[in-house]
Amino acid sequence: MSEKSYPQWYSFLKKKHGNFFEALERLGEEVRAAGPLDKKTSHLIQLAAAAAIRSEGSVHSHVRQAMQAGAKPEEIVHTIVLLTSTIGFPNTSAALSWAHDVIGEKKG
């Protein structure tokens, strides 16, 4: 992701704590590369985890990254809808609205 497309707060923190953020990003890359799952599947799983903990920023991030890895909007929505019986409808609905924030940007 280019620096220009990061949310403003994330960019501020990344600039202020550069070494920490570089290590954090390397950790994510290393963990994804360590196993047999492809990048798209990895981001869909991380999207589900982000939805489960109600992390709006992480949902935005993993929707973007999953789409960059080839996920279609329908796959993003299905990933979140699958969580309904686990995290409940209100949490699912919130995550769908956050995913739509990004999917709508990509369509517009």
Question: Are residues 31 and 46 located together in one domain of the fold?
Answer: no
Q: Are 38 and 69 in contact (CB under 8 A)?
A: yes
Share of the chain above pLDDT 90, in %: 77
Question: Are residues 78 and 26 located together in one domain of the fold?
Answer: no
Question: Are residues 43 and 27 located together in one domain of the fold?
Answer: no
Question: Are residues 46 and 18 located together in one domain of the fold?
Answer: no
- The pLDDT tens digits of the residues spanning 16-29 come to 999 999 999 899 89
Question: Are residues 108 and 71 located together in one domain of the fold?
Answer: yes
- The pLDDT tens digits of the residues spanning 34-62 come to 999 999 999 999 999 999 999 999 999 99
Question: Are residues 91 and 76 located together in one domain of the fold?
Answer: yes
CA dist., res. 4 & res. 84, Å (int): 34
CATH number at residue 83: 1.20.1290.10
Share of the chain above pLDDT 70, in %: 94
- The pLDDT tens digits of the residues spanning 60-99 come to 999 999 999 999 999 999 999 999 999 999 999 999 999 9
Answering whether pTM is above 0.75, one says: yes
* Cα-based distances in Å from 54 to 12, 20, 60, 81: 22, 23, 11, 14
Question: Are residues 86 and 42 located together in one domain of the fold?
Answer: yes
